[in-house]
Structure 1
Amino acid sequence: MAAVSETLQGFQREITCSICRSYFSEPVTTWCGHSFCRACLSWSWRLGTAAFSCPRCRQVSPVQEFPRLNGGLAQLTKMGKELCSLLLQSTEGQSRCARHKKIFKLFCEDDQTPLCVRCSQSPEHGAHKLSPVGEAAHNFRKKLQVLQSRLRKHFEEAEELLDQEERPAVDWHLVITGEYKKLHHFLMEEESRCLGKIKEEERASQDKLSQHREAIQDLMLVLQEAAYQPNLDLLQEAKELLGMCESVLSKRAKAVSLDLRAYPIPGMIEMLRRFQVDITMDPTAASPCVIISEDLKSVKAGEGWQVQTKHPDNSAVHAVLAEQAFSSGRQYWEVDVTQLPQWILGIYTPYVRRKRKRNVDSCDSVFLLSCMKYKEDYYLQAFPGSLNHRVKCPVPRVGVYLDNSLGTLAFYNVLQSSLIYEFHFIAFTEPITPFFSPGPPLPGTKAGPMTLCPGDSHLPA
């Protein structure tokens, strides 16, 4: 019985339209070999469609002519419908109750099971609704027709939506590509403008140095000539010569500037914030001279960290490490140092392998950026590195960007959206841990905390 049922179902699938799920009516076959009812395919291939595709495999037809009626398949469908009807009748006749060996003549609507007459008389079906098998099957076929009609409606809606998706009113690929081209063009213009500004500043600085050199050269010639003048003439010009020397020598400090220039990069901080990580400070990896907040988000110098020397560069450094360590990917975090005149930020790694000229490996465990105050000026210094630049005003917030794959570590002035310093080609071999030091504190002052910034925080304009 199971084999007959499977054969019957397989044959029914061969003569059923995949669109309406009914037996073929005037079947037609597309060039790719799939068959459909003429009306179903006609509905699917609407007038005005630029390319006709198979509703089943979505392959585009090389021709736009509607396929002819498949007479052989129509005849096979007619014969199949008759054969299926006969098979159903024969299988129904063979279906008998396993308990009483009687033919199933009734159907229990409550239990959804066929019954013989004797089964229907049992107490368990006494209060159930019973119907003749033929009537129950007829009623169920009506329900199937209703469901089929609803499914066809849903299918048509899905086809319409799919058609809209295949031919959208807005080509978003083109729109997004155009927007990114605008952005690229804007960034190229900004890059050109920034590079032009740098060239102008370099040219102006070179011009000043050239003028300063020429002034020195001219003065040296004047002094050389004055040395051969008579004593009285020399003494008469002495005051003027000394004034000229003082004027030229006083311009030396202005000729060479140590100020760190800021060149904002539009959108850089917003892009870096895509890689922002949530960091907390590790109390177990902290110096006893620093105090960590309860939420592990800020640290400040403790009373035990006393700086007596006037040269804080020679003072001891006390720090805390983050609880998190990184060995791959890209990470970014921001630190608020508004309340600190002096601070140190960076990373700690147990071992870094670096190639030297003599092929000797070295161990540089920290890569740091520090801010030190001397008199009224602030100086940004890198270790290891040669950065030692003066800034006109302290940096309120520093962004730290780490790229393990490229071996780079960069520090940014978040407020100005500009790069402060970048380490290149660091060969990390161990996990990297963020490093924080809220000092050294200035003698006689009480510095505030160094605070990790949440991802959604912003500086006031």
Structure 2
Amino acid sequence: MAAAREKLQELQREITCGVCQSYFSEPVTIGCGHSFCRACLSLSWRAGAGAFSCPECRQVPQVKEFPAVNRRLAQLTEVGKELSGQLLQSAEGQSQCATHKQVLKLFCEDDQTALCVRCLQSSEHGAHMLSPVEEAAPKFREKLQHVLSQVEKHFEEAATRLDQEERPAVDSRMITLEYRRLHQFLMEEESRCHERIRQEQNARQDMICQYRKRLQTVVVDLQEASHQANVDLLQDARQLLARSESVLSQRAEALSPEMREYPIPGMIEMLNRFRVDITMDPKSASPCVTVSEDLKSVKAGEGWKVGPEHAKCFPCHGVIAEQAFSSGRQYWEVDVSQLPQWVLGIYTSYLRRKRRRNVDSFNSVFLLCFFKKEDDYCLQTYPGSLMHRVKGPVPRVGVFLEYTAGTLAFYNVLQHSLIYSFQSIPFTAPVSPIFSPGPPLPGTKAGPMTLCPVDSHLGACCYSSREGS
């Protein structure tokens, strides 16, 4: 019996698939001589993504075509299955209990184990469900067959799913086309924006030319009037002065440019990828400002007393962030909806000296200033040439810093538009954000300047009314 079992085991090894470790199902043999289930080899070759090698010895077959089913091996597999069943049945009759050395004739349904008659006397299985081995074995084989059918079904589903994954509904080519389409949309939007800028620039040039002509006319009239007789001069004086004052009153509109808004689709959403969590350093705060307990807002204190003539760009009082940046890209947003005047920007301790006269080591701050001048709101940069009127307050400002490129940009978050961008700043030291909630306007009580949470979106805070504006 032992020799027969050894022979059977050797046969079982010959008819067992090296991939699934089960009896062959539609066996195929490749050039190196190894055999596998047809489905196992197909799955292995698909997973190899083109490297069609033997799963066992890794040799690459000379013939790339998928082999046909080996009918003789399939028949041998069926014979091996039958012999295994027969030997198993004969072995069942000889199997003995390891404890009592008696034939195993019963099966415990509760413990799923075979028993001899003496096992029942131990009272361990007395209350359990028992059945003869001859009855339990067919039932168990039926269960195994059911599980096998489920496993095979799931195996086929996995193979089908693998095929579907190799041919996804949205592949890389489609994604490339979508990015190209998006790029085309942005190019068209950029072209429309450039055209709008050109038209508005031409309109402004026409306005300034018309203003110059009116000024020239007034100059000629005034020069002629200076040579008139006294009586004639006095008769025309009232009308001449009124016309001169009318022309002079047009100066602000003609010569002080108004900031135009050019929304850039998707820009703010893209910048949000670089949002950083910033807090204010109370140790760096001026005595004239107060930093909140959560270090997220700053407010002008009672000691900050200035007149309208001192509403300059440079922040006399403010606070610096606790964080400093020396690489990468960072983006943060600030709610300034409750402030009539404010200053935002960055501070760095040192810059590389450049040959250009207007950029040197003394320019260690780069700022955007918002202030009120007479009845107009104005935006000014330091350093820089920006000095524009704006239609109204800017409720929420986005600040983008790209250290390596030396870029600092300010955005009107509500309008999705660029306000101003410093380019090619020669950073050599860490950069820290600056916040200044003023200068306050005389007779007004301004609210706080607040850092927006990293996960925040545009909300009611950006539309809130500003106290004292």
The TM-score normalised by the length of structure 2 is 0.71
> Counterpart of 1:386?
385
Deviation at 1:412, TM superposition (A): 0.8
For 1:117 and 1:405, the matched residues in 2 are separated by 85
Listed as ranges, the matches of 1:441-456 within 5 Å are 441-454=440-453, 455-456=456-457
Change (3 A) 1:324 1:180: same
Work out whether residues 279 and 323 of structure 2, in 8 Å CA contact, stay in contact via their aligned partners in 1: yes
| 2:145 paired with 1:145 | yes
Are the structure 2 counterparts of residues 321 and 102 from structure 1 closer, same or farther at C-alpha, using a change threshold of 3 Å?
A: farther
Determine the C-alpha separation between the residues in 2 that align with 1:384 and 1:10. 88
2:128 paired with 1:128: yes
1:320 paired with 2:350, answer: no
1:344 Cα offset (Å): 0.9
TM superposition shift of 1:126 = 3.2
Change (3 A) 1:345 1:217: closer
What SS does structure 2 have at the residue aligned with 1:291? strand
The residue type paired with residue 344 of structure 1 is V
Change (3 A) 1:84 1:326: farther
User: Residue 438 in 1 paired to residue 426 in 2?
Assistant: no
What is the rounded CA distance, in whole Å, between the counterparts of 1:353 and 1:91 in structure 2?
90
Within 5 A, what are the aligned runs for 1:344-383? 344-349=343-348, 351-357=349-355, 362=361, 365-383=364-382
Say if 1:17 and 1:23, in contact at 8 Å, map to a contact too: no
Q: CA deviation at 1:73?
A: 1.5
Cα 1:421–1:12, aligned 2, differ >3 Å: closer, same or farther?
A: same
Residue 110 of structure 1: aligned partner:
110
Counterparts of 1:113 and 1:189, CA distance in 2: 77
The answer to whether the 8 Å contact 1:409/1:423 transfers is yes
What's 1:54 paired with?
42
Identity %: 58
Q: Check whether the contact 1:12–1:80 (CA below 8 A) recurs between aligned residues.
A: no
CA separation of 1:293 and 1:247: change in aligned 2, threshold 3 A: closer
**Displacement of 1:144 after TM fit?**
0.4
Q: Give, in whole Å, the separation in 1 of the partners of 2:42 and 2:75.
A: 23
1:423 positional shift: 2.2
Counterpart check, 1:291 vs 2:290: yes
Shift of 1:340: 1.5
Code of the residue aligned with 1:288 in structure 2: it is P
Q: Deviations over 1:335-378 (max 9, x none)?
A: 222222210112344x3442423999837553321112222223
Alpha-carbon separation, structure 1, partners of 2:9 and 2:151? 23
- How far does residue 140 in structure 1 lie from its aligned partner after superposition? 1.9
State the alpha-carbon separation in 2 of the partners of residues 274 and 253 from structure 1: 40
Indicate the residue corresponding to 1:80 in structure 2: 80
Q: How does 1:228-377 map to 2 (within 5 A)?
A: 256-308=255-307, 310-313=309-312, 317-349=316-348, 351-357=349-355, 362=361, 365-377=364-376
What is the letter of the counterpart of residue 368 of structure 2?
Answer: L
- Separation of aligned partners in 2, 1:122 and 1:183: 79
CA contact (8 A) 2:314 2:382 kept: no
Contact 2:313–2:369, Cα closer than 8 Å, also in 1: no
Instruction: Please tell me the root mean square deviation across aligned C-alpha atoms, in Å.
Output: 5.0
**266-275 or 432-441, which deviates more:** 266-275
The answer for the alignment partner of 1:457 in structure 2 is 458
Q: Is the alpha carbon distance of 1:434 and 1:137 closer, same or farther for their aligned partners in structure 2, counting shifts above 3 Å?
A: farther
1:190 partnered with 2:178: no
Equivalent pair of 2:308/2:441 in contact (CA under 8 Å): no
The one-letter amino acid of 1:313's match is K
How has the CA–CA distance of structure 1 residues 299 and 9 changed in structure 2, closer, same or farther, with 3 Å as cutoff?
A: farther
CA drift at 1:440 = 1.1
The residue type equivalent to 2:45 in the other structure is C
C-alpha displacement of 1:307 = 1.6
- After alignment, is 251-260 or 366-375 more displaced? 251-260
* Corresponding pairs, count: 434
Deviation at 1:220? 11
Q: Do the aligned partners of 2:297 and 2:448 also contact (CA within 8 Å) in 1?
A: yes
Q: Cα distance 1:162–1:26, how it changes in 2: closer, same or farther (>3 A)?
A: closer
TM-score computed with the length of structure 1 as normaliser: 0.72
Instruction: Choose 439-448 or 113-122, whichever is displaced more.
Output: 113-122
Q: 1:50: which partner in 2?
A: none
**1:304-331: per-residue Cα shift (whole Å, max 9, x none)?**
2222473232987222334555454433
Residue of structure 2 equivalent to 1:49: none
